[in-house]
Amino acid sequence: MEIGILGPLTVQEEEVSGMLTASKPRKVLALLLLYANQVVPTTALMEELWDDEPPLSALTTLQTYILQLRKLLSRILRMEASEIAREVLVTKTCGYMFRVQPGKLDLHEFERRAEEGHKALAVGENDRAARLLREALEFWRGQALVDVKAGRLLEMHIRRLEQSRLSALEQRIEADLRLGWHHELLSELTALVVRYPGPRQSPCGSCLT
């Protein structure tokens, strides 16, 4: 199962894909994927859905959304819903956990390559750093979770992810500059200055001084 959150939210197995159209179940799925392989407390899911004013039926409604997600995953993965509940979208004592296999979530792959690229840059392995950071950035297909109507918690995570993206971009540009690719970078740097005006917003301010 291939899962993407660095852009539109996508869940796909080979040629089969699908997504619920209702905004609240999509929020639940997005938060579970941001914490893939970790338990997301029921309280956190409720906060994302209803801020500080959950309805009396909040727990029952959340359970309904989980059932809808399991049915979706059952169709995509061609598995029984009961198997999905045991192996993929699992109920825990205080919440839920979405299990993701290694290499199947774009966020994990971005973070892994970005971290390796950062380490390579720190020890002067500029060719390897540039390659790893470029590979990391290729996982981005636009703004993270661009098609999910984010609540308070998701908004916080989306901002954090964008900062991680900009950090990887800045490091990739630094690696390219160390390799002497100044002319090749000129048009990209010009576009970035326009997109992020001002010294505080520019992801490559240190590269331009």
Of residues 114 and 193, the one with the higher pLDDT is 114
Q: Which of 15-29, 74-88, 112-126, 181-195 has the highest mean pLDDT?
A: 112-126
CATH numbers and ranges of domains, the chain = 2-98 (1.10.10.10), 106-208 (no CATH)
Band (160; pLDDT cuts 50, 70, 90): very high
Model pTM score? 0.85
**What pLDDT does residue 13 have?**
83
Band (19; pLDDT cuts 50, 70, 90): confident
What value does the mean pLDDT of the chain take? 88
- Taken in order 96, 99, 104, 110, the sign of the CA dihedral is positive
What pLDDT, in 10s, does the model give residues 71-104? Answer: 999 999 889 989 999 999 999 989 999 999 999 9
Q: Is the pLDDT of residue 138 over 50?
A: yes
